[in-house]
Amino acid sequence: MTISVGDSLPDVTLVKATSEGPEKVSSKDYFAGKKVALFSVPGAFTPTCSAKHLPGFVEKADELKAKGVDEIACTAVNDPFVMQAWKERDGSEAITMLADGNGEMAKALGLTMDGSGFGLGQRGSRWSAVVDDGKVTQLNVEEGGSFEVSSAEHMLGQL
């Protein structure tokens, strides 16, 4: 079953990518007491993710925060070292990278995709959400390989 607006995020362990190394975090603790603009990409360094999705949130970070977002986070079914390297190359300090290395969050949310045809295996799909104190208040799930509703620009219009 796919998560819906009004649902609470499942409590899974994610790994926060930091310059000091990986840091395990409980999603329940991480999302508690704050409004987070969360977006998911099929993979770090992949074409649309690197050319459009992450850069859009980097570019619009100040505008999102001006609309009440406390933190901006990106998740992908990648390891924390890849997520940190991607942040260093294409991201910014305004974006927190949350590695879902085993795909536990993607599975628990019901937002997975099969990237086997591209050698990617099971991944999280492309989506974005506004999460307020652990509860989903906006959810934008992309169809197939499109990139329209999960962008930072679209989210700005929802806030």
- CATH number of the domain enclosing 140: 3.40.30.10
Total domains in the chain come to 1
pLDDT at 121 over 60: no
Would residue 8 count as lying in a domain? no
Name the band, by pLDDT with cuts 50, 70 and 90, for residue 11.
very high
Name the band, by pLDDT with cuts 50, 70 and 90, for residue 18.
confident
Its domain, for residue 93, covers 13-158
Would residue 4 count as lying in a domain? no
The single residue of 37, 49, 97, 152 carrying the catalytic annotation is 49
Q: Supply the mean pLDDT for the chain.
A: 91
Would residue 110 count as lying in a domain? yes
Global pTM reads: 0.92
Would residue 53 count as lying in a domain? yes
pLDDT at 33 over 70: yes
49 annotated active-site: yes
Would residue 3 count as lying in a domain? no
E-strand stretches of 27-126: 35-40, 71-76, 95-99, 112-114, 122-124
Would residue 1 count as lying in a domain? no
Rounded average pLDDT over 33-48: 89
